[in-house]
Amino acid sequence: MNALIKSATIVDSKSDFHNETVDILIEKGRISKIAKRISNPNNYKEINLENLHVSQGWFDSSVSFGEPGYEERETISNGLKTAALSGFTAVALNANSNPVIDCNTDITFVKSKAENHATRLYPIGALTQSSNGKDLAELFDMQNAGAIAFYDYQKPISNPNLLKIALQYAVSFGGLVCSFPQEQKIAGLGVVNEEVNSTKLGLKGNPALAEELQVARDLFLLEYTEGKLHIPTISTSKSVELVREAKAKKLDVTCSVALHNIFFTDDFLSDFDTNFKVLPPLRTKKDCEALIEGLKDGTIDMVTSDHNPLDIEHKKVEFDYAKYGTIGLESAFGALQTIFTTKKAISLLTNGKERFHIPERPIVEGEKADLTLFNPSTNYTFKKENILSKSKNSAFIGQNLKGKVYGIIANSKILINL
């Protein structure tokens, strides 16, 4: 794959050309030359786009595609195309499928379905068999097959001894254990954040305490086992404090936040729009501000779209009966840029690679091309027509966003939406 990118501003602190506008020559999938001006004697495909910016390829640490089993929601093929046109050169696939991805053959299957795509797929294996929270899955075998972490998607591990054993066992082969932050007995049947709005709307509340108790418990177990833990999608101010304290103790812990939990508050629930029914639930303005501050100071390591496609039958129902989840790949960059600078947004979209052992590809000569192409200045209103996923359950429809993604150059392929 050969191409010549013209007049692109590089956004990559690990590149000698950071903040410079240059041409980038790509030959056989590698960056062969970066200079102010490069001629094109071999008549390679030229990429010349308005206000073009280029960064290292973005990574999303939590996406669901449905396949196998829920292909009506999304397929791996279309999911990876959606990710590519949303700027992501790598995604971590949750074991949110039927059957659940909980053994080495399952890992091999989803990897085979992802071959020959521009975006690379990195599977996350279930932590327990069938994600039932009772018996550990084949962690070591799955890691050998290509799993990058172990997580029962949005299902808390209620048995603390099971999580303790998982952390201890994973230490022996460098595995990364993920634990969903919710104490189910406290959360009960709650469907939204327990606060003033839940009372006004007459919806059962899921208190912040349910998350914070679980985070505190998991951090105690982490300290005891000296293991390696990732806490996905925290949502409360107290959770940020708990993780900050754990990092001060030098515990091996990272965490993420779902983009919708920093973009929306529970005030958006007033119309009972089930696209805002997410887990963890949308919290208060105070929580949002604490989460944003946690991202700024590094307490929270990464953002995720927590992309979760759901067909209309699971969303166009009464709020209590709707499934949790929103898609978010297509709106991720535009939403992030309404909160952070372009430089910070790019940093948050690439931060998770090291934790999940995804190769980092700085924009330097000789490196494999793993690039995201975008225009950070475009302002637009996100509409249903902007959705590339099979399912259309986006909480961001109607929101004013900033930044257009052109596509990616990665895995020796070019995928750009003009």
Q: Which positions are annotated as active-site residues?
A: 306
Given a contact cutoff of 8 angstroms between Cβ atoms, the answer to whether 86 and 117 are in contact is no
Strand partners, 364: none
Given a contact cutoff of 8 angstroms between Cβ atoms, the answer to whether 345 and 333 are in contact is yes
CB contact set of 263 (below 8 Å; sequence gap of 6+): 335, 338, 339, 396, 399
Kind of pairing between the strands at 149-150 and 400-410: unpaired
Q: How far apart are CA 102 and CA 91, in angstroms?
A: 18
> Tokens at residue 106, please?
């399952």
DSSP 161-226: HHHHHHHHHHHTTT--EE-----HHHHTT--EESSHHHHHHT--EE-HHHHHHHHHHHHHHHHHHT
Output the CA–CA distances (angstroms, integers) from residue 159 to 86, 149, 188, in the order listed.
38, 19, 16
CB contact set of 398 (below 8 Å; sequence gap of 6+): 381, 382, 383
Q: How far apart are CA 92 and CA 312, in angstroms?
A: 24
Given a contact cutoff of 8 angstroms between Cβ atoms, the answer to whether 290 and 240 are in contact is yes
Q: How far apart are CA 157 and CA 214, in angstroms?
A: 9
Given a contact cutoff of 8 angstroms between Cβ atoms, the answer to whether 373 and 408 are in contact is yes
Q: Is 116 left (phi over 0), alpha (psi -120 to 50) or beta?
A: left
Cα separation of the two ends of the chain: 19
- The amino acid occupying position 252 is D
Q: How far apart are CA 78 and CA 197, in angstroms?
A: 37
Q: How far apart are CA 114 and CA 196, in angstroms?
A: 45
Q: Which of 189, 206, 232 is nearest to 284 (CA)?
A: 206
